[in-house]
Structure 1
Amino acid sequence: MIGVYAHHHGSGHLQRAFAVAAAMDDDVTILTSADVGAGGNPDPSRIHVLPLPLDHDGPGAVAGTVDPALEPTAGGRLHWAPLRQSGLRRRTALLTGWIDTHRPTVMWTDISVEVTLATRLTGTPVVSTVLPGRRDDAPHTLAHGVCSALVAGWPRSAGAPVPAGATEPVIPVGGVSRFAGRTPEPAGRGQGRPRVLHLRGSGGSGRDQRWDAVRAELGEVEWVELGGPGGRWVADPWTELCRADVVISAAGQSSVADLAAADAHVVAVPEERPFAEQDDTAGRLEALGHGAVVGRDSSVEHLVSAVRRTLERSRSTPGAGSGLREAWEIDGAAERLAAVLETVAADSEVGAR
């Protein structure tokens, strides 16, 4: 049995967990506070889900708004462990109880310092995801140091640093996408009226009014909008990704991986995240020469220019992809991550004999 912890913020962690679990031969249990929903599990006979309670009392319960007397960061040593929080207590008990009952050969945490530490304190080998951005604070440094291996969801060409607290480099596996098994179908690109797809994910907040102005300025294009608070959602946006000449999207790891799987032409809009996560991902994307990156404070004129330049690049080769799928190493990424888990599991079993 292999255990996976998937964080509940946004949808990317859970999607990545299912993609990697599907690439494994062993039984897998995903432990998460996220809403899996109907049809989210690709193989219920082998991939199990253990729901965990939330470790907070609502959307407003973040470190900056919680009573300091509850010591949510344990004096800066952890990210989130408020005193006397019943959900935190129950989820930790469920986690360690599951480990005691099922004795997983390895646990992959994607991602939580506290779950990583709790797992390692049971004597279970841990592999953790290293997300982009600057992660040299005390909690990350501690968590990195107790892991048997560290993996990253970016291509090898983007680098393999030694994370703070670790003794070995991170292992880049490429972008893990739920769409990796599909072949891009960009035949409709470059045909007829230019088509722009604006994706607004579940992890952000509010509506950026600048894009309404961009849409008005680009009156010649067909503008399709998906997601966001109060917006239209589709369970499977694959067809829309393949049809669009340009896709405007935040720069979350799973978002970029899904765009790369569709070989899309991208305008990335990194959202503000802890540790500058999306800024780092967007920078890696831009450094590879794929996609335009615009800032959170860019003017409407700058945004319009970025979309038009990307449209010109996309439509200069009708029916072709951007090359991002190959550059972001989508094919085989889930299998490469699964192989890391299986190697750590095998090594731990040998060492226990």
Structure 2
Amino acid sequence: MIGIYAHHQGSGHLQRALAVAAELRDEVTVLTSAPVARAMNPDPGRVQILPLPLDHDGSATGIDPTAGGRLHWAPMHQPGLRRRMALLAEWIDRTEPALLWTDISVEVTLAARLTGTPVVATVLPGRRDDAPHALAHGVCSALVAGWPRSAGAPVPAGADRPLVPVGGVSRFADRAPAGARSVAHRRGRPRVLHLRGSGGDAADPRWDAARDQLAEVDWVSLGGPGGRWVADPWDEMCRADVVVSAAGQSSIADLAAADAHVVAAPEVRPFDEQDATAAHLERLGLGAVVGREDSVNDLVAAVRLTIERARSTPGAGSGLREAWEVDGAAQRLAEVLGSVAREPDAPRSFVPEPVAQGAGR
């Protein structure tokens, strides 16, 4: 048995967890407070879902929530937190898992390790050298990162070995984008897809103003407060000449799977996570990045320049799929988990070789 803890913030952690669960041969239990639709489970006979209560009551405060700066979120006398930790301990005692992969939680990482369970944790982008992260990194048998090798394999704070970059794990890695994309380039008017999330920056009025200035394009918006949401945006991503999106790890991995031409607009996140991801995208030269202080004219210019790049090679992708090492990423992460399950105390400083582009799952 292998356990996977998927954080409930956004949808990316759960999507990554289920993509990797599909590649494991072991029995798997996904522990999460996020809602999991029946259709999302890749193998209901082998992959079980254990719902966890939320560790908060909607308030961002509590009694000593950081335990004096040593943890991220452990407020005293919080019933949801108490119940979720009790469920975790009961599940570990009942199933005796070979390991738990946490994506992500310092507190769940430590709680599992305190039961004697080997733990693998995801390291997210950004500056993560604070005391809680250093403590969690130090107790793990391995650390993995959902970014390409070109972004580096540092030794995280508190760890004694490099993390393992496996590439961008996407739920769309088994799909080929070329056929759908060619349709967009036969059309006269460029097509821009704006993916808006549910976070605080989703209603950024600059993008409404930019859309109004770009009268020469067909502008399609998905998501956002009061907007249209679809469970599977794949066809829209592939049909678009340009996709405007935040720079969350799963968002960029999914866009890389579509080999999309991207304008990334990183949103404010703890530890500058999205800024770090967008910066690497820009270093690769495979996406435009706009800042939170940029003007509407800057946004318009970035979209127009990216349209020009997309249309300079009709029918071709951006090259992001290969550069972000999407193909085989879920398998590589599953390989790390399997290795730890077999030999929890073995040193791991390897970087798995990438799977050939287009290999799929």
Please indicate, yes or no, whether the TM-score normalized by the shorter chain is above 0.5: yes
Cα deviation per residue 1:294-315 (whole Å; 9 max; x = unaligned)? Answer: 0011100000000000000001
* CA shift for structure 1 position 276: 0.2
Pick from 330, 336, 341: which aligns with 2:337? 341
Distance 2:57 2:75 in 1: 11
1:292 aligns with 2:288: yes
- Give secondary structure in 1 for the equivalent of 2:230: coil
Pick from 195, 199, 202: which aligns with 2:198? 202
Distance 2:153 2:168 in 1: 14
Q: Which residue of 1 aligns with 2:52?
A: 52
1:12 aligns with 2:8: no
1:163 aligns with 2:156: yes
Contact 1:260–1:325 (Cα < 8 Å) also in 2: yes
* CA shift for structure 1 position 154: 0.4
Q: Which residue of 2 aligns with 1:148?
A: 141
Distance 1:79 1:179 in 2: 32
Q: Which residue of 2 aligns with 1:126?
A: 119
- Give secondary structure in 2 for the equivalent of 1:292: strand
- The gaps in structure 2 that reach 5 residues or longer are 348-361
- Structure 1 residues 231-270: aligned runs within 5 Å: 231-270=227-266
* Matching residue's letter, 1:10: G
- Give secondary structure in 1 for the equivalent of 2:132: helix
- Give secondary structure in 2 for the equivalent of 1:39: helix
* CA shift for structure 1 position 229: 1.6
- Give secondary structure in 1 for the equivalent of 2:72: coil
Distance 1:349 1:309 in 2: 50
Pick from 302, 307, 318: which aligns with 1:306? 302
Q: 1:350 to 1:71 in 2, by over 3 A?
A: closer
Pick from 183, 186, 192: which aligns with 1:188? 183
- Structure 1 residues 191-230: aligned runs within 5 Å: 191-192=186-187, 193-230=189-226
Distance 1:218 1:54 in 2: 42
- Give secondary structure in 2 for the equivalent of 1:19: helix
- Give secondary structure in 1 for the equivalent of 2:18: helix
Distance 2:345 2:164 in 1: 21
State which drifts further: 194-203 or 304-313: 194-203
Identity %: 73
- The gaps in structure 1 that reach 5 residues or longer are none
TM-score by length of 2: 0.93
* CA shift for structure 1 position 288: 1.1
* Matching residue's letter, 1:268: A
Contact 1:189–1:315 (Cα < 8 Å) also in 2: no
Cα deviation per residue 1:244-276 (whole Å; 9 max; x = unaligned)? Answer: 000000000000000000000000000000000
Distance 1:28 1:202 in 2: 29
Number of aligned residue pairs:
344
* CA shift for structure 1 position 134: 0.1
* Matching residue's letter, 1:129: T
Cα deviation per residue 1:211-255 (whole Å; 9 max; x = unaligned)? Answer: 111001000100000011211011110000100000000000000
Q: 1:159 to 1:350 in 2, by over 3 A?
A: closer
* Matching residue's letter, 1:44: P
- Give secondary structure in 1 for the equivalent of 2:307: helix
* CA shift for structure 1 position 38: 3.7
- Give secondary structure in 2 for the equivalent of 1:49: strand
Distance 2:319 2:227 in 1: 30
- Structure 1 residues 31-50: aligned runs within 5 Å: 31-50=31-50
Contact 1:257–1:330 (Cα < 8 Å) also in 2: yes
* CA shift for structure 1 position 289: 1.1
Distance 1:310 1:214 in 2: 14
Distance 1:223 1:237 in 2: 15
TM-score by length of 1: 0.96
Cα deviation per residue 1:68-116 (whole Å; 9 max; x = unaligned)? Answer: xx00000000000000000000000000110010011011000000000
Contact 1:261–1:330 (Cα < 8 Å) also in 2: yes
Distance 2:10 2:159 in 1: 27
C-alpha root-mean-square deviation of aligned residues, in Å?
A: 1.3
* CA shift for structure 1 position 12: 0.2
